Amino acid sequence: MKKFFLFKRKDIDASSSTTSDSGEGLDLLAVSVDHLSFMTASQGRVNIVFNDATIYEENNLLDGESFKKTSVSVACEQGGEAALIDSIMQFISSDRVKTNVMRFDAVEGSTNVREASIQSFSDVVSEVRELPVRRTTKDVSKKTFIGGTSGTAFGTGNVLGGIDFGEDNTPDLDYIETNITESGGNVTGWTNAGSLGSGYNITSVTGTIPLDTSTGRTNNGLNTQAADFDTTDNLALPSNATFKGAFTLYAVVGRSVSDISDNPKLGMMIQGSATSGQGLTLLFADPLDNDSFNMKFSSERGEFVKAPISEGKLIDSNIREDELSRRTAYIFVIVRDRDSNISVFNNDGVRYAFAPAVTNGNSARTDKDLVVKYIGNGLTAQGTKFQGNVARFGVINKDIGISAASNLAKDLASIYTPSN
């Protein structure tokens, strides 16, 4: 009788996917032991690699690119890596095992393999690749033959501000820190690098917003310059940018170590007015709630949409005792899919907050328009005060997918996280 591996990372929900370059969204995977290629180990983990377990039967790759094989990384006690590999080999080769399925279940925190240590979702990471990698750098490649010529090396990607968004994922809005204009050290505007163009260049500034060029964990919390917003400041777009249906929103916010100690909150960074009397758009963190993302979309007069954080806090103050190890650069990637489910990804590319679709009734609906008018505190009457150093903000008018959203969060983190 055939034997199988069963890897369960999370419960299946509306955002679960069949492939993933990062492990996010691929919540359940079963593979026959016949496809086992090889196993390797790193400290506290065993990596199981499979042959012929991908979604593509043939590929058209650029020179120097390859698809990595499907793999699963499972946790074990440090020092127990060889024992876990041996146990897997014994399971495959023995005719006397009591079960034909070797299970690694991070939801139940259980496994029928004594040498494994499965306690949280991070202990099981399955990757069935969507995109190839460049062998020289090991980075994901998003280049394509489509539209390419010999002069462009068969496609140059879709790069803005150091981020390759991939084919057909060009942001509509993309405010990059290098495009902030200033006078006398204060912000005077912000040029839009997205496809909506100069019609959404920001020139309207309320309050005095310093351009904070003092980088690092003890300064603006980031690796780059940023606009330093206080509770009465905002930058106003020339007109409402309205996004219907699916979208992907991303933001980079810095807080210094001392800022986090004194005031471990963010507030509603993105605000937008809808039709008069029709409600508001408010995203994405209630200053009084560090355990969930709170959102309200256009025409909504009822309660906020809440996306509870599965592990930890939104701001790092309560996670780590040691102030010097606290996170100061915060990456947020928020995706609404075509069914109006909302997922939020953090610096590590982990989907750590989720709000299921609500498309009926008069409260906490997830399907209404996203309206962007202000970065900062444009709707002061709501009392939702934002504080933070903003280095980047953008919106893509589509759901780019779980795997791409996860990679986007990690790419942003690699650019904006300070080294000191």
pLDDT digits (tens, 9 = 90+) for 324-355: 678 899 999 999 999 999 999 999 998 988 99
Question: pLDDT digits over 111-120, tens only?
Answer: 999 999 999 8
Q: What is the mean pLDDT of the chain?
A: 87
Side chain identity at residue 175, one-letter code? Y
Confidence of residue 298 (pLDDT cuts 50, 70, 90): confident
Under 8 Å CB-to-CB from 321, ≥6 apart: which residues?
A: none
Reply yes or no on whether the pLDDT at 411 is more than 90: yes
**197 plus 346 within the same structural domain:** yes
Domain presence at residue 139: no
Q: Are 294 and 333 contained in the same domain?
A: yes
Q: List, in order, residues 6 or more apart from 10 with CB less than 8 Å away.
A: 16, 27, 106, 107, 121
As for how many domains the chain has, the answer is: 2
Q: Is residue 294 part of a domain?
A: yes
Q: Do the domain assignments include residue 342? A: yes
Q: In the listed set 134, 169, 191, which residue is the last one of a domain according to the structure?
A: 134
Take residue 389 and report the two structure tokens written for it. Answer: 């150093």
The answer, yes or no, to whether residue 405 has pLDDT greater than 60, is: yes
Instruction: Identify each DSSP E strand in 161-257 by its residue range.
Output: 163-164, 173-183, 186-192, 204-206, 211-212, 226-229, 234-243, 247-254
- Residue 130 resides in a domain: yes
The answer to whether residue 144 sits within a structural domain is: no
The answer on 399 and 295 residing in a single domain is yes
Helix (H) or strand (E) holding 258, with range, is helix 257-262
Q: Beta-carbon neighbour count of residue 178 at 10 Å?
A: 12
Is pLDDT of 156 > 80?
Answer: no
pTM reported for the whole predicted model: 0.82
Q: Looking at the structure, do residues 128 and 164 belong to the same domain, yes or no?
A: no
290 and 345 share one domain? yes
For position 150, what pLDDT does the model report? Answer: 47
Looking at 82, 100, 134, the residue that finishes a domain is 134
The pLDDT tens digits of the residues spanning 227-274 come to 999 988 999 999 999 999 999 999 999 999 888 878 777 888 888 865
pLDDT of residue 52: 92
The answer to whether residue 53 sits within a structural domain is yes
Instruction: Assess whether pLDDT exceeds 60 at residue 58.
Output: yes
Domain presence at residue 148: no
Residues 382, 289, single domain; the answer is yes
Predicted pLDDT of residue 66 = 82
Q: Which residue has the tokens 């606009």?
A: 227
**Is 184 found in the same domain as 115?**
no
Which range marks the domain in which residue 112 is found?
A: 4-134
- Other C-beta atoms within 10 Å of 100: how many? 11
Give me the residue label for tokens 């505190």: 377
Rg (CA), the chain: 23
**Cβ(172)–Cβ(160) under 8 Å?**
no
Other beta carbons within 10 Å of 179: 16
Under a CB-based contact definition with an 8 Å cutoff, are residues 174 and 148 in contact? Answer: no
Same structural domain for residues 92 and 203?
no
393 and 251 together in one domain: yes
pLDDT tens digits for range 211-224: 999 999 999 999 99
Q: What is the CATH number of the domain that holds 220?
A: 2.60.120.200
Return all residues near 410 (Cβ < 8 A) that are at least 6 apart: 22, 347, 348, 349
Q: Are residues 257 and 358 in the same domain?
A: yes
141 within some domain: no
120 shares its domain with 215: no
Q: What is the pLDDT of residue 151?
A: 46
Is 318 or 172 the better-scoring residue by pLDDT? 172
For the chain, percent of residues with pLDDT exceeding 70 = 87
Question: Where are any strands of DSSP class E within 71-185?
Answer: 71-75, 101-105, 110-111, 124-127, 133-134, 159-160, 163-164, 173-183
Task: Give yes or no: residues 130 and 180 share one domain.
Answer: no
Instruction: Report which DSSP code applies to 108.
Output: T
pLDDT at 277 (0 to 100) = 44
Does the CA dihedral 136-158-348-129 come out positive or negative?
negative
352 in Cβ contact with 413 (< 8 Å): no
